[in-house]
């Protein structure tokens, strides 16, 4: 059984996609043991409560220094003894000590086809604004392992989504969520839970 801790900052739509997939059986051999948010008002925490999932808020604002927050944050994650940590719209920088401790056991969903529109400053609507500004015809989403860089870890799954003529950033964001993010993030978790993802020479090898 793969024990998963999900980290989220906002509404938690990707968290909901994971919960739904676990409950429907499309994610197998997996349970969500905890949800952590840096935002006490995050709707994601209510989603967790509604499904009987342990949850808590740990915010950098509540600590005198980032070092103290990082220490308490790692302690909180460790308490749930996760086999996998999922970043589902988590807007806090992951401490290097956590990345090292959970090497190739932290995954992130990013709303673009990495290496396009990724890295520092590319998150949320900013990704879709940049894509539309550039005039690309295809966008998408990527699930990748987290390393010390920003969106630079081994890529597990990607799914393309076509840009339509009248797209706004908001419309495009919604379509990328529905057609890509909510599909490949649960799929990646299921693959990992069933031993079908390995990392070799800095690349993720997926056997489906």
Ranges of residues in the chain with a pLDDT under 50 are none
Question: Phi, psi (5° rounding) for residue 179?
Answer: -90, -20
The pLDDT of residue 208: 74
Q: 68-101, pLDDT tens digit by residue? A: 999 999 999 999 999 999 999 999 999 999 999 9
Domain boundaries, the chain: 1-102, 109-208
Residue 175 tokens read as: 């379509």
DSSP letter, residue 180: I
Q: Residue holding tokens 């302690």?
A: 75
For domain 1-102, give the CATH number. 3.40.50.170
Q: What pLDDT is recorded for position 178?
A: 97
Q: Which one is catalytic: 51, 110, 128, 144? A: 110
On whether the CB atoms of residues 109 and 182 are closer than 8 A, the answer is: no
Measured in whole angstroms, how far is the alpha carbon of residue 102 from the centre of its chain? 15
203 C-beta neighbours (distance < 10 Å), count = 11
Residue 11: name the closest of 88, 68, 96, 104 by CA.
Answer: 88
* Domains 1-102 and 109-208 belong to one CATH topology: yes
Q: What is the pTM of this model?
A: 0.95
Residue 32's closest CA among 53, 12, 47?
Answer: 53
Q: Which residues of 62-74 are buried (b: 16+ CB within 10 A; e: fewer)?
A: eeeeeeebbeebb
**Cα dihedral sign for 185, 188, 194, 195?**
negative
- Residues 6+ away with beta carbon under 8 Å from 195: none
Where does 10-114 have alpha helices with state H?
A: 13-24, 43-50, 66-79, 96-101
Structure tokens at 24: 């429907």
Statement: 109-208 belongs to CATH 3.40.50.170: yes
Based on the residue annotation, tell me whether 51 is a catalytic residue of this protein.
Answer: no
């Amino acid at each position: 059984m793969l024990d998963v801790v999900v980290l989220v900052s906002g509404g938690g739509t990707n968290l909901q996609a994971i919960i739904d997939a676990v409950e429907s059986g499309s994610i197998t051999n997996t349970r969500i043991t905890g949800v952590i948010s840096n935002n006490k008002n995050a709707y994601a925490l209510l989603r967790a409560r509604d499904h009987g999932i342990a949850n808590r808020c740990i915010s950098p604002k509540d600590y005198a220094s980032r070092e103290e927050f990082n220490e308490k944050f790692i302690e909180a994650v460790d308490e749930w003894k996760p086999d996998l940590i999922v970043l589902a719209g988590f807007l806090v920088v992951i401490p290097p000590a956590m990345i090292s401790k959970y090497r190739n056991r932290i995954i992130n969903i990013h709303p673009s086809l990495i290496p396009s529109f990724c890295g520092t400053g590319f998150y949320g609507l900013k990704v879709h604004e940049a894509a539309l500004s550039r005039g690309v015809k295809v966008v998408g989403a990527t699930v990748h392992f987290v390393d010390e860089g920003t969106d630079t870890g081994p890529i597990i799954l990607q799914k393309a989504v076509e840009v339509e003529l009248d797209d706004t950033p908001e419309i495009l964001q919604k379509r990328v969520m529905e057609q890509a993010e909510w599909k490949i993030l649960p799929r990646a978790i299921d693959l990992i839970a069933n031993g079908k993802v390995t990392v070799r020479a800095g690349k993720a090898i997926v056997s489906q």
